[in-house]
Structure 1
């Protein structure tokens, strides 16, 4: 803990200047390393971004991956997904949206009456209700570079199709399953920035997904959900499998993260690395915590601090109302000495040069 990171260059040239993806490199919210590529989610739009390693600490050759060409999305084509989690496992790339309600931000230069009225307006975005998997197809013999496709026929003749959990403009099967939950149901109708329900992390283990919640934080406890998804490889629909004898389709883990919420998840062996940060619209402490043996956890559980180890305290900035330097995504880059890559939403001026963004790579024991 406390060791300084090295800086890594992320070059989004070509994509950052396009009208369709302008500014996406300044709103990175999730990242996953797959071979020699980094896959990113952003707060805006409906596309993933992909970079390829061109030097040890430089990633470039930016490519946008529009999800509306791979999936039938529940919302409109211009309805943002708010991608908050990405992971790869067993030849699939998994993606989740935030599922959160949006509250309008008051305009600074408007009259008070208009600003107050705007603050009362909330909306649901259909594309935010997304949990999906996409087939990964190797683009080189070593399997270090991949693309994602809507469908592919594997060597054994099985067709692998992109699939998602069914949903509408207002909900999906995940939020429907939580409607009777004593802990989480009251927060499903509260905007994410108000400590409402807000998914901001994903880690895949086969067909079992771990979803970290930025909110709600309950009496200082952050929540991680575990769900197991059924679905044939050639089906474009995913189903929540029952997780308990009473028919519940998810497991709940309540983590003592110092009052912080979950901002991202990634595996390191059988341990789950948790990027924890402030809930709501706050700037504050950000820390990476190791949840030891999480892969073996089953059933509802309280996860106390004796099962958690602080790996890194991360710098953050909050110099304005919007704030800067928000650590939002983590992934392990499997070099000779594996490193934990941290990417930021609203990177400050010291990190941005036109379409180039600097990220941090922390050593891992």
Structure 2
């Protein structure tokens, strides 16, 4: 499969030189006014950049999520892994994962002890929507004179130290055991790394677990519960979610993006593995009424292109549609651990724009 056709690069300029931000970009989406909304692994904030002309984005502004929605606490990281925009709302999802402490390479006995430690950051169990008005996140606003057309910030209802989604999956025949074992994300544990939204219909891509080479996308619908809360909608006969199994060449999902009723799937290695990353298209995803399984012989799941691969850097993480050079549906990609060549100065980093192959 050929590499993606690189149309252009855009320069993202921030007001900080923090490597916790610029070297940890994990999610991006674009709103109709042209603004880019960016999330990082290590933050409890959303960053906004606006177009400055000549392929540059700046005017950096930070929004603290605690100002708009209820968090479990104000200290632990959200591990933002997906952003999407739909119908006036910015949607954000955390990884919902556990983490294992890292070896630091100083004292062997300490490192061995650290590798036994599993940590939970409750804020990682976040799925939320945030109203966007004139390039700003706001708690609520009336979009029209219709009393039913009021946009409000809300997040999926919290249950203990997690939320309704993890509660619903606790007894799942495929995923429940991974949750009960409290398996960390980098050990092929449960790890959300992508979101795509169509109204109240939400697709969540899992980096892990990958089951015998099959990646998983969860499909849910949400509806309003108590003020500031979302609940899972019954999809029929008490079912609160659907599972879609994809043959992504043994890779997990790293990001999702809806395009004309299809899902664009950014696939890459699960766990801590280094490896090539690919773009896939899964066709006609909006009207399923049951779980599905798609291999590449089905005609519905297709590899689009490979992404450039460098060991140790340029891990593709964020994905959004971006018009470029006359192509309305080009794809913008932002990278975790960007190569030094992407950092022209301490406060800036380059993102890539690829041509999206025509469907057919």
- Give the shorter-chain TM-score range: over 0.9
1:12 and 2:8 aligned: no
Tell me if structure 2 keeps the 8 A contact 1:285–1:316.
Answer: yes
Query: By how many angstroms is 1:153 displaced?
Result: 2.9
1:126 and 2:122 aligned: yes
SS in 1 for 2:166: helix
Matches within 5 A, 1:1-365: 1-14=2-15, 16-17=16-17, 23-35=20-32, 36-74=34-72, 76-109=73-106, 111-137=107-133, 139=134, 146-156=135-145, 158=147, 159-168=150-159, 170-188=161-179, 189-231=182-224, 235-245=227-237, 247-305=238-296, 306=298, 307-318=300-311, 323-335=312-324, 336-338=326-328, 339-353=330-344, 354-364=346-356, 365=358
Identify unmatched segments of 5+ residues in structure 2: none
How many residues in Structure 1 have an aligned counterpart in Structure 2? 346
For residues 205-227 of structure 1, give each alpha carbon's deviation from its aligned partner in whole angstroms, at most 9, with x where no partner exists. 11010000000000100000000
SS in 1 for 2:168: helix
Return the alpha-carbon distance in structure 1 between the equivalents of residues 6 and 272 of structure 2.
27
Return the alpha-carbon distance in structure 2 between the equivalents of residues 10 and 70 of structure 1.
29
Query: By how many angstroms is 1:169 displaced?
Result: 6.2
Tell me if structure 2 keeps the 8 A contact 1:127–1:169.
Answer: no
For residues 38-87 of structure 1, give each alpha carbon's deviation from its aligned partner in whole angstroms, at most 9, with x where no partner exists. 1111101100111111125221111111111111101x212110111111
Query: By how many angstroms is 1:22 displaced?
Result: 5.3
Return the alpha-carbon distance in structure 1 between the equivalents of residues 159 and 141 of structure 2.
26
In structure 2, do the counterparts of structure 1 residues 3 and 99 end up closer, same or farther at CA, with 3 Å as the change threshold? Answer: closer
Q: Which moved more, 1:292-301 or 1:127-136?
A: 292-301
For residues 153-186 of structure 1, give each alpha carbon's deviation from its aligned partner in whole angstroms, at most 9, with x where no partner exists. 3332644221001125631100000001010011
TM-score normalized with structure 2 length: 0.92
Return the alpha-carbon distance in structure 2 between the equivalents of residues 121 and 198 of structure 1.
18
Query: By how many angstroms is 1:276 displaced?
Result: 0.2
Q: Which moved more, 1:298-307 or 1:157-166?
A: 157-166
TM-score normalized with structure 1 length: 0.91
Query: Deviation above 4 Å: which 4+ runs of structure 1?
Result: none
